[in-house]
Amino acid sequence: MRFTSLGSGSQGNATLISAGDQLLLIDCGFSALELERRMARRGCHPSDLSAILVTHEHADHVAGVGVLSRKYDLPVWLTRGTLQAVRDNRFHEIELIDHTPFEFGSLRVTPFPVPHDARQPCQFRFDLGRHRLGLLTDSGSITPHIEAVLEGCSTLMLEFNYDPQMLAEGPYPPALQRRIGSDWGHLSNHQARDFLSQRAGPTPNRLIAMHISEKNNSPERVRACLDTALGATDCDTLIASQHDGFDWITVE
């Protein structure tokens, strides 16, 4: 199993998961044309996709999903609440999901609910044999259920959205600050740090910091929290870029 981010942040999100002959796109917060360009950098094309999985209806996650689905005859897998909330839901094919695992070839996908200010948001865990990859962004807090689902993930893509001090002193109006910092907003550096420090089970082999705010965070502050949480462990760490995500990584 391999994965890559085509961009991660408030300006657009898209992640690819590859396993065997299956290539899944998680969200598409870019135009179809921009997604084609970004996939080309990774040596693939939307015509290679098996399906699109959607986490929730916010534009930075679904802006290009409708056009992409129709242009390339792609099925879209999403919750009923997300389907009802997304503006362009004229998809080529619709597959409704809840929190029941489903399969693409040998890849097992487990959707799980997250507290976020959307209609019926979810995130995903991907299993291939003994390898387990977790994706958690756009979640204002970490619930016991989230902890249980992500336990044992050898590789984890985890939101480090904002630094609390930078958010409080930054340009956003108070209402938006409260939304981001609420239990239904986004994960702060400190929340992500504490989750890594306190979680049960072994430390992941690889940790990627995702969905970093360009106005309310900095790579230096994210790195400091990663160093505090992971200490002297052998965990490889990476900070995803809004503009280029990160290149293909193999789950080990």
pLDDT in tens, 7-53: 999 999 999 999 999 999 999 999 999 999 999 999 999 999 999 99
CB 62 within 8 A of CB 86: yes
- The Cα 78–Cα 111 span in angstroms is 9
**What's the pLDDT score for residue 199?**
83
185 lies in some domain = yes
DSSP 48: G
Which amino acid, residue 58? H
Does 192 map to a domain?
yes
Quote helix, strand, coil % in the chain, to nearest 5.
30, 30, 40
* Domain annotation covers residue 252: no
What percent of the chain stands above pLDDT 90? Answer: 96
23 within domain boundaries = yes
Which residues of the chain form beta strands (DSSP E)? 2-7, 14-19, 22-26, 51-53, 75-79, 93-97, 102-104, 107-113, 122-128, 131-136, 155-159, 206-210, 236-239, 246-250
- Residue 72, number of CB atoms within 10 A of its CB: 16
Task: Read off the pLDDT of residues 51-77 as tens digits, 9 standing for 90 and up.
Answer: 999 999 999 999 999 999 999 999 999
Q: How many domains does the chain have?
A: 1
Q: What is the pTM of this model?
A: 0.97
C-alpha–C-alpha distance, residues 211 and 161, integer Å: 5
Where residue 95 sits, what CATH number does that domain have? Answer: 3.60.15.10
Domain assignment present for residue 237? The answer is yes
| Beta-carbon contacts of residue 63 (< 8 Å; ≥ 6 apart) | 12, 28, 29, 30, 31
Dist. CA 250–CA 95, nearest whole Å: 28
Q: What is the dihedral of CA 148, 137, 75, 244, to 10 degrees?
A: -130
Rounded Cα distance between 145 and 164, Å, is 25
Write out the residue range of the structural domain in which residue 84 sits. Answer: 2-247
pLDDT tens, position by position, 159-210: 999 999 999 999 999 999 999 999 999 999 999 999 999 887 788 999 999 9
pLDDT at 201: 79
Please say whether the beta carbons of 170 and 216 come within 8 A.
Answer: yes
